[in-house]
Amino acid sequence: MSRRFSIAVCFQIVASLLVGLVWVSLSEAQLQPTTNVVVTASLNTGGQTNVNAARLRRPTTNVLGKAHIGVFVMHPSSSYQNNGVCNALAQRGFTMLCADSVFTGNDNGYYGYEQHAPGIRAGINYLRSIAATATLPAISKVLIFGHSMGAPMMAFYQNVAENGAAIACQGPEKILPCVDTNLQNLPKADGVMLFDAHLGDGLATFTYVDPALSNNIFSCEPRKRQNDMFLEANGYIRDPGQLDDNGATYSKQFKKTFLVHQAVRNEDLIEVALDLLQQRRIQTGNPNDMGDAIPFVVPGSDGARLWQPDTSLLKYTKKPHILLARDGTSEKQPIKSVRPPSGNLDALDCDSATRTVNVHIWLGSRALRSTPGKYTQAPDDIAGVDYDSSATSSVANVKGIGKHPNGNQATTPLLIIANTGHYFLRPDEIVYDFAYSKDKTLAFSEGAVHGGGPCAQCTRIILNDPALPTATANAYWTDPAGNGPAERSWNFMAKWLGDRY
């Protein structure tokens, strides 16, 4: 090696280290102290319970110039008043209102996202009502943020707010039209942020329905062996303590057979529920009866998702996208999942895998149509699903966001960030591809689990070291600036927001 080359290399190394140190210093300096105030009572107006609990977080000063941007965060059934994004974005200068819904802890209790619309409306209105103080500005822009199943819920809300219920969720393509009682005069958000977005409650249940029960759709026994994804003879791995525990390698023929029968069982359940609803309407003479009083108990409808144990499925995106990488870069490149297998043996327990709901809940929020024989799961796709058949569908709802029929408004900005330590890579790319908005962004956080933090088990699999301590495994995903997957996501969100509002 020549002396000139050695000096040049040393200079580059030192320069990169200095840049990294400066970046860390600036990043840490910009994280602001925040306030945290319970505001639940202010959201429950007119005697109506809109949310279960809510907290407002703001930076103590507006030194970063972003406190005029408000973000409302809620999930349909999980507690989000203290979710990690709330303080993370408040520290980065934004105003965050994070709430629990009235269905928190009751994920089988709602018949549609229309029941969450009052809470979202209350959150948006509350943020817009915040006036300027001596140290902080009034809120001039409000966005809605949905993580996991909160994503299709927020997409539904914005679709209805922009287009009305008749267009957004009551068309003839829907298995059951939404109830529009609470869907009038919904204020539009100024943007939508989706984080590791689910494809919707309908799709979730559809892919959980166990085709091993196809002999009798309402009985746990007997299980049909040729459709049983949990049999070792069909490729499931149960060896405890190994890196592939609760994983699977299914044959092409088994996958085809399983998916055909999963689609058929879902269609059978829909037809039975629709028949029960029709009989009820005839008996009561009420053509508007929605089936709330008709019990619908479905065993084997919570856990038989083929792609969870078989990590060869939904492993890649079809196109290059922004990767928020562990080396600190954010370039466009092909995206690959690093997720561990996550088979769910609890699905074999009848009580654990049974949904006890009613016909309205099943048809309104849990049902989705497909085409048996065309419904497939592949390394880079899930196909043959009729997303438009359910009002809970992320895909169906993002199609309507940003159209603004009156033509007098700019498109609604849409941000989607998915996590490579989980299984929503291709699903979130599908949502992005169908999104109408002309200002849409898709990025992937390398090594992040569903909640955003680092995936220790992913590291153990990559390094083939099952005994690797969690702290060491997590550090694998830390970039040169000291940021883990969650921090990279929060920083990307902050920049995206700052660039637009």
Going from N- to C-terminal start, the domains of the chain cover 19-200+390-500, 204-308+350-387
Whether the Cβ atoms of residue 205 and residue 392 lie closer than 8 Å to each other: no
**472 residue type, one letter:** T
pLDDT value, residue 9: 34
Residues with pLDDT less than 70, the chain: 1-29, 240, 404-409
Q: Which of 121, 119, 120, 142 has its CA nearest to residue 130?
A: 142
Q: Using CA atoms, how far apart are residues 156 and 425, in angstroms rounded to an integer?
A: 21
Residue bearing tokens 């927020």: 154
**pLDDT at residue 408, as a whole number:** 59
Structure token pair of residue 16: 């990169």
Q: Round to whole Å and give the CA distance between 341 and 347.
A: 15
The residue count of the chain comes to 501
User: What per-residue confidence (pLDDT) applies to 403?
Assistant: 85
Instruction: Tell me how far apart the alpha carbons of residues 4 and 28 are, in angstroms, rounded to a whole number.
Output: 36
DSSP state letter for 412: P
Per-residue confidence (pLDDT) for residue 449, from 0 to 100:
98
For 117-138, the three-class secondary structure string (H helix, E strand, C coil) is: HHHHHHHHHHHHHCCCCCCCCC
Given a contact cutoff of 8 angstroms between Cβ atoms, the answer to whether 197 and 416 are in contact is: yes
Distance CA 473, CA 459 (A): 5
Contact 343, 311 (CB under 8 A): no
The residues with which 415 forms a beta bridge, in sequence order, are: 193, 441
Range 19-200+390-500 classified under CATH 3.40.50.1820: yes
Q: How far apart are CA 322 and CA 331, in angstroms?
A: 5
Q: What is the pLDDT of residues 146-161, one digit of tens each?
A: 999 999 999 999 999 9
Cα gap 398→395, rounded to integer Å: 5
